Chains A and B, each alone.
Chain A
Amino acid sequence: MEQELFKNIWWVLALPVFGFLIQAFAGKIVIDNLGPKLGRQVMGGIAVLPIAAAFALAAQMTIALAKIPSGERSIILTLFEWITVGNLSIPFEVRVDALSMTMVLIITGIGSLIHLYATGYMAEEPDFPRFFTYLNLFVAAMLILVLGNNLALLFLGWEGVGVCSYLLIGFWYKDKANSFASNKAFIVNRVGDWGLTLGMFTLAFMAAVVLGKDGAEPRWLSYDVLLPNAARIASEFNPWVLTTACILLFIGAMGKSAQFPLYIWLPDAMAGPTPVSALIHAATMVTSGVFLLNRMSEFFALSPTAGAVVAIFGAITALLGALIAFGQTDIKKVLAYSTVSQLGYMFIACGVGAYWVGLFHVATHAFFKALLFLGSGAVIHAMAHNQDMRNYGKLLKYLPITGATMLVGWMAIAGLPFMSGAFSKEEILIESFASTLTWYGLPIGQIVFGVALLVAVLTALYMSRMTYMTFFSGDERWRLIPAHAHGDHGHDHHHDDHHHEDHAHDDHHGPDVHGFFYTDAEMADRAALTPHEHHHDLDESHEPHEVPPTMFIPLVVLAALSVIGGGWLFFGVNLADWLHSAGVVVHHHEAPKSIMYFVQKTLAKPIFWGATAAFAIGVFGGWFIYGKKLPEDDGMDTSKWKAWRKAAANHFGIDKAFTQGSIKGGNAIGILSWKVDKSLVDGIVNGLGTITAGFGNLFRMFQTGFVRGYATIMQVGIAALIVYFVYAITTTGGGN
């Protein structure tokens, strides 16, 4: 009976796939037949339905799962034999346990809300079904990633979500900036995938030596066989082997979860439609790195060095993201860097060994960041697709529901006590402070604690900046834009401007280094071929309007979750125990009497006040700076900005350094290898080719074209054969 229920997991996986197929094959037909308006409504409904149904099934299963004693709380179901090589068998199998179901609920729950929102947001989109095709496919791939019971399936899902992310960032592919952004995301993620694959191979190699040798269990790459044997596997090797494997896996996580230095793709990825930013680039896909570390926590827990590396990179990312956010004027860019910063937070938690806290922050962050992104989408929608916050102001009056829900999101991320963000952030602070992690004598835990506390202040501050600039602060600043001024300001409808106002005019500096497929001239030709839809630009005559219900209902639900979700997960679910049942390492379970546990209990209160102080400093400090009007330091004229803000606006040059460095460096390597190839390899190859061709010419001489010649050659062949046989018979003394 129980098992029967869990078989529904195949439906959870299959429903988004069905949705994807329906969208892909029937979408255009339906819309053509029913007309654009009704057709899009129908297809939108069909897109939301499978995800919502999957959520319902997953919720039912999770409740049943919670009733099972925690020791037996992982159910493995196999669909078919997938790969069988030698004594290794990798079936297509899923693992229903606390960790995977938590992720499934986030993916399908938030996913269905965002799908619903997207039906409103994309209502005017001519390519409506293509959008939902990708979106449904994304959900399917993400579910495979979290549900798979082995690293091969994780990789399948990992690449699947990568492709969907690429397709969705470049959804408005006619806009060159979007194509570049999607290429950038894809290419940067290759670097991460390089790490992931090598890490997987290293682990597989280790497992092959230890488990594969036994021959008893062919599924030695499946989690249920691999993870319980982590300590045994690691003990057979020099600790550096495991550390290398873990760091390589972390490099994979870095790519997908936008950690320094591979974060550079995520802000650009905001070029995609806002629901995509909310679902993929804030709530689900970018957290798959945290999921990976949770899943592999048995291995990571064995390598303090890897933990320290994770924590340090997490801290750098958290700080960097928060600082850069101050230089961004595009509302989605602020949120993007905020996401980068919060992802850093999650890795701080994982690095100091509190994996469950990392996942806790994944969940709460999914609530409030999805809310903030969707809210920003609503604002952008209401403001004629202008994304520059400096053109906003006093929007609360026009957008009461959006505004109110976004204020909730702001409070949650800034860390107002007892809102969801506060719980997870506080846990991260406690865990890092109480951590005993040291590396070369450095108290890593306490160092990252300091950084995390600073970032908490910064987070509250930049989020307040965004909120005040958008919903309060002085005037309705778009009224200052003269009507019918078709400048560069209003031009970027769909994407957010990659280049900021200070160099908006030289869109292409120098030759088109990014031009992978088309030259500028060709792009212009292509653009000319498609009729240009003229949007209403943002100017003084613009009146913002509240968004339709399909768009604000998800906002309200997410706002409610942002308020209560954290407390519920912490007290109601007891997330630490819940995740521990799925094999996630939780420290105080292993040693309830340890010093750390004691410290944690005693320090909980002071740190709570510390976090609250950070919140207060941020919010009130923000009011002090931005509450009344836009300060000159943050105004339209970027030349009046302070130096540090200019630097932040330019991402401290990191993005450019990496991009240009890799392009130039890659170019140099390319030229070098071309020269080696040209001179050395080609020399050898052509030399061999000439020699072999010489032989070919020699043999061709016999190909005279005359039958008599051919017959002669055949005769010679036969003669040779017979001579050989005669020789063979005589030498072996045959007939005698």
Chain B
Amino acid sequence: MIQIPTIDWGVLMPTIIVFVTGIIGLLVEMFRPKQNNNLIVGLSLAGLAAAFVLLLGQLGAEPTTTIANMVFRDQLAVLLQLVMLGATALCFLFSEGYLRQRRIAFGEFYPLALWSLGGAMIMVGTQNLLMLFVGLEVLSIALYCLSGMARGDQRSEESALKYFLLGAFASAFLLYGIAFIYGASGTLDLEGFKIALYATDSTFVMAVFAIALMLVGLGFKAALVPFHQWTPDVYQGAPTNVTAFMSIISKVAAMGALIRVLTAADALQNFWFPALTGIAIATMTIGNLVALVQKDVKRALGYSSVAHAGYLLVGILAHLKMPVEIPLASVVFYFVTYTAMTIGAFAMISITAKDGKEGTRTQDLNGMWRKAPYAAGVLFICLISLIGVPPTGGFFGKLAIFNDALAAGLPVLAITLAVNSVISTFYYWQIAKAAFVDDEPALQTDFAHLNPGLKLTGAICVIGVVGIAFMATPLINAGSTAGRDTMSVIQLEPDVQDTPAIAAPMPTEVNQEVR
């Protein structure tokens, strides 16, 4: 007799809406009037808005699980899902104009992106590793298709294939890691995994390997060094709107999943913490250094996104070191600013596409400030925020993470972050300079017309980048409970806290030391 689990539809509804909107979009696409996707865009935006509103209502709600612990809703999940919904909406706003200019005006973009988003929402909203894997695959497969969407463009095709091959490679590791976890703890549930880690020490070698393997899979999606190498190629090759989309969604989802897995594995902190510290340092440094010598804007921004993954990892590590004292507020704040400034920059660069051609080399931006002053202005603001110049959101975000790192006793990471911010100035500045000079012969003869959607995207991003300093308090407050719920759910297990077994195995000594 199969028992039907109780279902909390409220928790599921945002994700369901996103998937269903995608399906409706696909149906509309079949019957659409030729070369006009406006209806699909409108529907998609409406769906995103509905999901957004529903999620807003769940802010601050009690953590809960549903469908037999398959779906988990806590503050962190809600916040990350909100960020992703907003990012997707921003991408959709400028996508239509861009796709028409690139002559790839296929309506499939919207359903695919929505499903990808749905997968990402599942990823951050679960404690179950199988769900996590399913979410990751839904996210990834749609992204592979999206990268190759510019069918006439060789680079786009190439990037899709590369992304797919390497992604499959990484997924295999993730799956392998999940299998190890199952082997170690006999459960696919992260909560169960955590309890098992405390309860027994016999399988912890397996668990350590499991974490190592999962790091590969998630690190690939989050573009952490040394699993980042797909990033520049795919960012450059994929259509710009897809690049903007994946730079946020893929990163947020992977980071969210990483937080969950590492929180569950905090008994093993002594093992993975130094490794991740090394990864964070390498990610920040290599991302920024290689970006310095890039000649292509999208590629440089690809490396920039690698570097920003490093900054985010610093914030996450600070939280994991002191889960109670340091909430994930800084990380959530950084996600929001990162979304605004990255999408703003990509959206403005998208105007280099006109009449089926696109030039994204740095010098292609020359003369932008004369021909498209609005775009040049928005790009400039987004870039100085990416550098981290006050009073932009990028500055406050980095400052918050820097402070967290110091408070958590991670001065090396904090200093690396600060030094890297300085290094990053050079290449961001090169991009900004390119947009504001016109003495060199501009190869790009003209820029695309700024359609209202693009202007709106730019305006929202600028408001987000500049205005976030003024609404920091509510955001920080909302984020201050993020990540703590996961802790409490697990720590409230009565017989776990006090069992002597905790103190017995080696890893927990570490654990005590950390606390």
Contacts and interface: CB of A to CB of B under 8 A. Distances in A.
B1 interface: no
B229 A696 contact: no
Given A696-B292, A713-B229, A733-B506, A724 B275 contact: yes
Interface in A7-58: none
A728 B276 CA distance: 13
Given A707-B166, A714-B226, A725-B208, 18 more contacts: A689-B292, A689-B426, A692-B289, A692-B292, A693-B289, A696-B292, A713-B226, A717-B225, A717-B226, A724-B274, A725-B209, A728-B208, A728-B270, A732-B270, A733-B506, A734-B204, A734-B208, A735-B205
Contacts of B229: 702-703, 709-710, 713-714
Contact of B230 (A699, A710, A728, A729): A710
Nearest to A715: B169
A696 B209 contact: no
B166 A692 contact: no
By secondary structure, the B interface counts as helix
From B275, B293, B426, residue with most partner A Cβ within 10 Å = B293
B233 interface: yes
B216 A721 contact: yes
Contacts of B166: 707, 710-711, 714
B205 to A, nearest CB: 5
A91 to B, nearest CB: 16
B196 interface: no
Contacts of B507: 734
B212 interface: yes
Interface in A665-711: 689, 692-693, 695-697, 699-700, 702-703, 705, 707, 709-711
B369 interface: no
A718 interface: yes
Given A696-B290, A716-B226, A711 B169 contact: yes
B205 A729 contact: yes
Contacts of B423: 692
B170 interface: yes
B208 to A, nearest CB: 5
Contact of A696 (B170, B213, B293): B293
B232 A703 contact: yes
Given A721-B212, A732-B506, A733-B506, A710 B204 contact: no
Given A702-B229, A729-B205, A710 B289 contact: no
B222 interface: no
A696 B289 contact: yes
A722 interface: yes
12 contacts: A692-B292, A693-B292, A693-B293, A696-B289, A697-B293, A710-B166, A711-B169, A714-B220, A714-B226, A717-B227, A728-B271, A735-B204
Interface of A: 689, 692-693, 695-697, 699-700, 702-703, 705, 707, 709-711, 713-714, 716-718, 720-722, 724-725, 728-729, 732-735
From B170, B173, B226, B233, residue with most partner A Cβ within 10 Å = B226
A700 B293 contact: yes
Given A721-B212, A725-B208, A734 B293 contact: no
Contacts of A721: 212, 215-216, 275
Can you list the 5 inter-chain pairs with the closest CB atoms, starting with the nearest? Answer: A717-B226, A696-B289, A696-B293, A710-B229, A696-B292
A116 to B, nearest CB: 39
A713 B232 CA distance: 15
Contacts of B170: 714
By secondary structure, the A interface counts as helix
A692 B292 CA distance: 8
Nearest to B202: A735
Interface of B: 161-162, 165-166, 169-170, 173, 204-205, 208-209, 212-213, 215-216, 220, 225-227, 229-230, 232-233, 270-271, 274-275, 286, 289-293, 423, 426, 506-507
Nearest to A716: B226
Contacts of B220: 714
B226 A699 contact: no
A267 B433 CA distance: 41
Contacts of A707: 161-162, 165-166
A589 B155 CA distance: 86
A722 B275 CA distance: 10
Contact of A718 (B205, B216, B232, B506): B216
Contacts of B292: 689, 692-693, 696
Contacts of B173: 718
A693 B427 CA distance: 10
A729 B271 CA distance: 8
B41 to A, nearest CB: 32
B291 A696 contact: yes
Nearest to A714: B227
A685 to B, nearest CB: 9
B316 to A, nearest CB: 17
Given A710-B166, A735-B205, A725 B212 contact: yes
A722 B216 CA distance: 11
Nearest to A708: B165
B312 to A, nearest CB: 19
A709 B233 CA distance: 13
From A718, A728, A732, residue with most partner B Cβ within 10 Å = A718
Nearest to A705: B233
Contacts of B204: 734-735
B180 to A, nearest CB: 12
A695 B288 CA distance: 10
B169 A714 contact: yes
Contacts of A732: 270, 506
Nearest to B229: A710
B156 to A, nearest CB: 15
Nearest to B510: A732
Contacts of A734: 204-205, 208, 506-507
Contacts of B161: 707
A695 B170 CA distance: 27
Contacts of B232: 703
Nearest to A693: B292
A729 B270 CA distance: 10
B205 A700 contact: no
A538 to B, nearest CB: 44
A683 to B, nearest CB: 15
Contacts of B291: 696
A735 B200 CA distance: 11
A697 B291 CA distance: 9
A725 B271 contact: yes
A354 to B, nearest CB: 43
A684 B166 CA distance: 40
A693 B220 CA distance: 25
B213 to A, nearest CB: 8
Nearest to B203: A735
Contacts of B209: 722, 725
Nearest to B173: A718
From A697, A713, A722, A735, residue with most partner B Cβ within 10 Å = A735
B286 A699 contact: yes
Contact of A722 (B212, B227, B286, B290): B212
Contacts of A705: 233
Given A710-B229, A714-B227, A729 B208 contact: yes
A711 B172 CA distance: 13
B279 to A, nearest CB: 8
A474 B229 CA distance: 92
Contact of B216 (A692, A699, A714): A714
Contacts of A702: 229
Nearest to B216: A718
A681 to B, nearest CB: 14
A735 B506 CA distance: 9
A703 B289 CA distance: 13
A734 B178 CA distance: 21
Contacts of B205: 729, 734-735
A108 to B, nearest CB: 31
A720 B219 CA distance: 14
A729 to B, nearest CB: 6
